[in-house]
Chain A
């Protein structure tokens, strides 16, 4: 069963990456999807990242109660955790729910209302026209969202630490700047790129092959989110073990 679906997924991807009929039409869709995925998710990612950063700072401070450990370490731990794991993974899991379900249900609805059949009859490569712009928007906007998420998580940590008295702003800023390794951001961006591809392609795949009606569209959307989340966590492990 797994291999049947995986084979079907690969065949769909082959159709997705065929040469577009008219780049201008695809470009319009790419910009639209970038706006939907990127700008449309900015508020949610901003709120989540800020609070996660603030909570992380307080929890790290709680666990490091010792006169032997300088409080700037709190900033260092928060920085590395946010860059390497929390921002890419939490952003991806949240987007799998928000963007992934939207993609599955949008494409699934088009399938059950014969809109995809209409595209195919016109001679348009439906997988390419519907899915390629979403994948391109996903692999560009999700890394951008992760960068913003990292910045906001660190800012949230600063605010949380200052408000709770867990760490002073000066110590915290010393912590996040001390011993910073740029490579960790590269790891985060690689993760975000792969997660962006998984979220958009898996959700689109589940929507594209829906059969039935509204009930099946909902089920496909749920399955798309579940599979994306599991794939994100598995790929997170693989990328981490390969790059660190």
Chain B
């Protein structure tokens, strides 16, 4: 479980996060949603330690991650898998080398064990046999799936996903969502997804945190979201005519 308490983050005069509190449960998919500039990605980066919040705490199973130095964070970081918005695969490495990289750095597995693990992860994301391709040879959806394969190579306890569906066609986007849901159930990991894709919100959102102007504006599940009367949330979720019509039918 991850708990965040009173997170504040500014960039110069721009106060991006204004005291966010939330709990993200293990084995569930938590979504952070909100409009552009609402602070979703900044919150995610504060949670994984890429940004240092000015105030507040990020607790991993009760341990205060924000107060730890680089060395103390390493054991927790080894349990973190992250999929970036643009996948962030290492250009100079093949698909297999990308997946093996964390194993090379942090385990004493033999070469064949590492290749077996890479093959298992690639099969898990339906990319078996693509080991020797370079990231430049992959489509956007394949890159995301390799990113997921790399994220699960160390069997993570915490899975962070930044905009998994951006730039993907609806069908591939749903496949990625399903994959995230399956992996969360399989590894019983705490999964936190930043998104503004409404299919994801309705499809996999066990817990949804809605940010508005850097504040926690609403929280609940995908079942609650259709019946809320919070104006800002409704404006965000049911922005399109199609979604408005769908809500009226509910």
A binding-site residues for B, Cβ under 8 Å:
21-22, 25, 109-110, 113-115, 117-118, 120-125
Asked if B242 lies at the interface with its beta carbon under 8 angstroms from chain A, I say no
Given contact pairs A120-B49, A124-B105, A113 touches B88 in the complex (Cβ within 8 A)? yes
Which residues of chain A are near B101, meaning CB under 8 Å?
Answer: 122
CB atoms of A121 and B74 under 8 A apart: no
Cβ-based interface call for B73 (8 A): yes
Most chain B CB within a 10 A radius of its CB, from A21, A22, A113, A122: A122
> Could you say which of B78-86, B166-174, B198-206 contacts chain A?
B78-86
**B106 adjacent to A21 (CB under 8 Å):** yes
Q: A121-B50, A123-B106 are in contact. Are A115 and B74 (CB under 8 A)?
A: no
A117 to B77, CA, bound (A): 12
Q: Which A residues are CB-close (under 8 A) to B248?
A: none
Q: How far is B80's CA from A117's CA once the two chains are assembled, in angstroms? A: 13
Given contacts A114-B88, A115-B89, A123-B106, 15 further A-B contacts (CB under 8 A): A21-B106, A22-B106, A114-B85, A114-B86, A115-B90, A115-B91, A117-B45, A117-B50, A117-B84, A118-B88, A120-B49, A121-B49, A121-B50, A121-B82, A122-B77
14 contacting pairs across A/B (C-beta < 8 A)? A22-B106, A114-B84, A115-B88, A117-B84, A118-B82, A118-B90, A121-B48, A121-B160, A122-B77, A122-B102, A122-B106, A123-B73, A123-B74, A123-B77
Nearest CB of A to B113, in Å: 16
A24 closest partner in B (C-beta): B104
A115-B82 Cα distance, complex, nearest whole Å = 11
Q: Are B105 and A21 in contact (CB under 8 A)?
A: yes
Task: Report Cα–Cα, A117/B48, bound state, in Å.
Answer: 10
Whether B104 lies near A22 (C-beta < 8 A) is yes
* Residues 51-110 (chain B) with a chain A CB within 8 angstroms: 70, 73-74, 77-78, 80, 82, 84-86, 88-91, 101-102, 104-106
With A and B bound together, what is the CA distance between A122 and B100 in angstroms?
Answer: 12
The 4 closest A-B pairs by CB, nearest first: A123-B77, A114-B88, A118-B88, A123-B74
Query: Is B105 in contact with A118, judged by CB distance below 8 angstroms?
Result: no
Complex partner residue of B104 from A25, A115, A125, CB under 8 angstroms: A25
Q: Interface majority SS on B: helix, strand, loop or mixed?
A: mixed
Q: How far in angstroms is the closest Cβ of chain A from B208?
A: 24
Whether the Cβ atoms of B50 and A22 lie closer than 8 Å is no
Q: Inside 8 A of A123's CB, which chain B residues have their CB? A: 73-74, 77-78, 105-106
Task: Give the distance to chain A from B54, nearest Cβ to Cβ, in Å.
Answer: 19
Q: Note all chain B residues with C-beta closer than 8 A to A121.
A: 48-50, 77, 80, 82, 160
B105 engages A22 (CB within 8 Å): yes
Contact A117 B105 (CB under 8 A): no
Give bound CA distance, A115 to B84, whole Å. 9
Query: In the complex, what residue of chain B is closest to A112 when comparing beta carbons?
Result: B86
B85 (CB) vs chain A CBs: closest residue = A114
Which residue on chain A has the smallest CB distance to residue B107? A22
Q: CA of A208 to CA of B91 in the docked complex: distance in angstroms?
A: 16
CA distance A114 to B102 in the complex (A): 16
Which residues of the other chain, B, contact A125 by a CB distance below 8 angstroms? 70
- List the B side residues contacting A120 at CB < 8 Å: 49-50
Of chain B, the residue at the smallest CB distance from A22 is: B105
| Chain A residue at minimum C-beta to C-beta distance from B147 | A118
Nearest-neighbor residue (CB-CB) of B74 within chain A: A123
Q: What separation, in Å, do the CA atoms of A125 and B73 have in the docked complex?
A: 11
CA distance A117 to B84 in the complex (A): 9
A122 to B99, CA, bound (A): 12
Closest approach, in angstroms, between the C-beta of A11 and any C-beta of chain B? 13
Question: B106 touching A113 by the CB < 8 A rule?
Answer: no
CB distance from A77 to the nearest CB of B (A): 46
* A113, A120, A121, A124, most chain B CB atoms within 10 A: A121
Chain A contacts for B70, CB-based, 8 A: 125
List of A residues within 8 angstroms of B50 by Cβ? 117, 120-121
Q: How many Å lie between the Cα of A123 and that of B75 in the bound state?
A: 8
B105 touches A113 (CB 8 A): no
CB distance from B100 to the nearest CB of A (A): 11
Task: Report A-chain residues with C-beta under 8 Å of the C-beta of B105.
Answer: 21-22, 25, 122-124
